[in-house]
Structures are given as structure tokens and as C-alpha cells.
């Protein structure tokens, strides 16, 4: 009789239902005596007989996932009786959508800053007509890096590096669309 006290104590389900926990109890592996609230929530939402039927219909390797899903849904239903875990999922989806919008706005700002920096970093050429910045290239890199938050200018466009597409910013000081690369006034 040197067995541990855990083998003598009934599982949380049998203790809650006030019955003797048999050696082949279907609840014992999934509702340990240390987690009585887990079974209490599942029982209140789904009922013990429904959980028993469900576990008996599943293969043994599927039962743990099923019990975890039932316990999660039961806990969510206790907190929000109308929506349960669907309400939590909906809140998280709205949060992801809001954060995606914030990320898109931050990326748009990053592109705008990068384009502005590239416009001042590229040397003037007859084809593009871009006016060079009065700052030295190292200063421009540090200034751009400071604005981007890393302080070293790691996202710096190399001066003189050709762009594979027409530049989207105005070339001339007037900002007129005829002064843009590829516009009517440049060719």
C-alpha cells in the first residue's frame, strides 16, 4: 500500500460528479484532480454525458485536443455567454485589422521619407534634372538614419545608383508635373 496519493484521489470529473473514479475512467487522463474548475466549466456548458459520448467516439490520440477545445470554449462561454470564443476571435481580428492599417501607414511614411531622401541624394544629371542636396553624402545618410530611428543611415540610397523605374517625385524646383521624369516637359 505504498502507492501515491494521486492514484487514490479521484479525477476532477468524478469528484465533481460525486462518483467513484474507476481505473478505466475516460475523464481521468484529461481532468486531473488539480484542475477541478476545468471540468466544472465543461460540465456546466456541455454536460458530462455529452462529453462522455464525444470522448468515446474519438480515437484516443484525438481526445486530448478535443478536451482542450471543450475547456477553452467552456471558459470563454463562462466569460461571455452569448459569443463565447467567437467573441474573443472577433476582437482579435479587429485588432489585427487595426494594426495592419497602422503598419500600412507606417510603411507609406517610410516610403515617402525614402523617396524624399533619394530625391536629395541623387546627383543632378541632364536626363533627370534632379538638384543635388547641399549636404554631403555622409551627412544625408546620417540625417536619413536619424529620421528612420537607427541613427546610422542603414536604409540609405546610394548616390548615383540608377532607379529601375521613373522617379515619383518632382525634379524641378516648381514641383510642376511637367518637370517630372517621364513627363511632357522632360523629353
Q: So what's the pLDDT on residue 120?
A: 77
Q: CA-to-CA distance for 21 and 180, rounded, in angstroms?
A: 82
Q: CA-to-CA distance for 65 and 58, rounded, in angstroms?
A: 10
Q: So what's the pLDDT on residue 184?
A: 47
Residues 6+ apart with CB under 8 A from 67: 30, 31, 42, 51, 55
Q: What angle do CA 144, 149, 154 make, to 5 degrees?
A: 55
Q: Which backbone phi and psi does 150 adopt, to 5 degrees?
A: -100, -15
Enter the DSSP assignment of 99. H
* Cβ proximity of 184 and 147 under 8 Å: no
Q: So what's the pLDDT on residue 20?
A: 92
Q: So what's the pLDDT on residue 52?
A: 93
Q: So what's the pLDDT on residue 187?
A: 42
How high is the mean pLDDT in each 10-residue block of the chain (187 residues)? 54 92 91 93 94 94 94 92 88 94 93 83 58 53 52 46 52 46 45
| Element counts in the chain: helices (H) and strands (E) | 7, 0
* Cβ proximity of 26 and 39 under 8 Å: no
- Enumerate the domain spans of the chain: 5-79, 87-179
Q: So what's the pLDDT on residue 180?
A: 43
Taking the CB of residue 112, how many other CB atoms lie within 10 A of it?
12
Of 61, 46, 62, 51, the closest CA to residue 25 belongs to: 51
Q: CA-to-CA distance for 97 and 83, rounded, in angstroms?
A: 20
Q: So what's the pLDDT on residue 116?
A: 83
Q: So what's the pLDDT on residue 164?
A: 52
- Give the relative orientation of helices 48-57 and 36-46 as an angle to the nearest 10 degrees: 100
Amino acid at each position: 500500500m505504498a502507492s501515491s496519493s494521486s492514484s487514490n484521489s479521484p479525477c476532477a470529473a468524478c469528484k465533481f460528479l460525486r462518483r467513484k473514479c474507476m481505473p478505466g475512467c475516460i475523464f481521468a487522463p484529461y481532468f486531473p484532480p488539480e484542475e477541478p474548475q476545468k471540468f466544472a466549466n465543461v460540465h456546466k456548458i456541455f454536460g458530462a454525458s455529452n462529453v462522455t459520448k464525444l470522448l468515446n467516439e474519438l480515437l484516443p490520440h484525438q481526445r486530448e485536443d478535443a478536451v482542450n477545445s471543450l475547456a477553452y470554449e467552456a471558459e470563454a462561454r463562462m466569460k461571455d455567454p452569448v459569443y463565447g470564443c467567437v467573441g474573443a476571435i472577433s476582437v482579435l481580428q479587429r485588432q489585427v485589422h487595426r494594426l495592419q492599417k497602422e503598419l500600412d501607414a507606417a510603411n507609406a511614411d517610410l516610403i515617402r521619407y525614402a523617396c524624399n531622401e533619394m530625391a536629395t541624394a541623387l546627383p543632378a544629371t541632364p536626363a533627370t534634372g534632379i538638384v543635388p542636396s547641399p549636404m554631403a553624402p555622409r551627412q544625408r545618410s546620417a540625417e536619413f538614419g536619424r529620421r528612420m530611428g537607427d541613427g546610422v543611415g542603414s536604409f540609405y540610397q546610394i548616390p548615383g545608383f540608377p532607379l529601375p523605374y521613373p522617379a515619383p517625385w518632382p525634379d524641378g524646383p516648381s514641383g510642376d508635373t511637367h518637370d517630372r521624369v517621364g513627363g511632357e516637359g522632360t523629353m
